[in-house]
Amino acid sequence: MSDVAYPRVQSHLARLKLPRMAECVDIVAQEAAKHDWTYLEFLDQLLDTEVSARYERDVAMKTKLAHFPFAKTLDQFDFSFQPAISERQIRELATLSFIANGDNVLFLGPPGVGKTHLAIALGMIAIQHAISVYFTTTVDLLDQLHRDAKEDRLDHRLQTLCRPRLLIVDEMGYFPLDRMAAQFLFQLVSRRYSRGSIILTSNKSYGEWGDIFADQVLAAAILDRLLHYSTTINIRGQSYRLREKRKAGVFTELAELQKEA
Contacts with Mg ion by CB under 5 A lie at 116
Which one of 21, 74, 112, 134 is in contact with ligand ADP (CB under 6 A)? Answer: 112
Provide the β-strand partners of residue 202.
108, 172
115 binds ligand ADP (CB under 6 A): yes
CB of 203 to Mg ion, least distance (A): 8
Using CB under 6 A as the binding rule, whether residue 116 contacts ligand ADP is answered as yes
Q: Does 174 bind ligand ADP (CB under 6 A)?
A: no
> To the nearest whole angstrom, how small is the minimum distance from the Cβ of residue 203 to ligand ADP?
7
Residue 87 binding ligand ADP, by CB under 6 A: no
Give the separation between CA 181 and CA 165, rounded to whole angstroms.
Answer: 23
177: closest CA among 142, 220, 125? Answer: 142
**Is position 175 an interface residue for ligand ADP (rule: CB under 6 A)?**
no
**Interface with ligand ADP (CB under 6 A), residue from 82, 104, 138, 258:** 82
What 60-66 contacts at long range (C-beta under 8 Å, 24+ apart), as own/partner pairs, is 62/127, 62/130, 62/131, 62/132, 62/133, 63/124, 63/127, 65/132, 65/133, 65/134, 66/123, 66/127, 66/132, 66/133, 66/134, 66/135, 66/164
The piece of 34-42, 106-114, 128-136, 154-162 that touches ligand ADP (CB under 6 A) is 106-114
Contacts with ligand ADP, residue ranges (CB under 6 A): 72, 76-78, 81-82, 109, 111-117, 201, 240-241
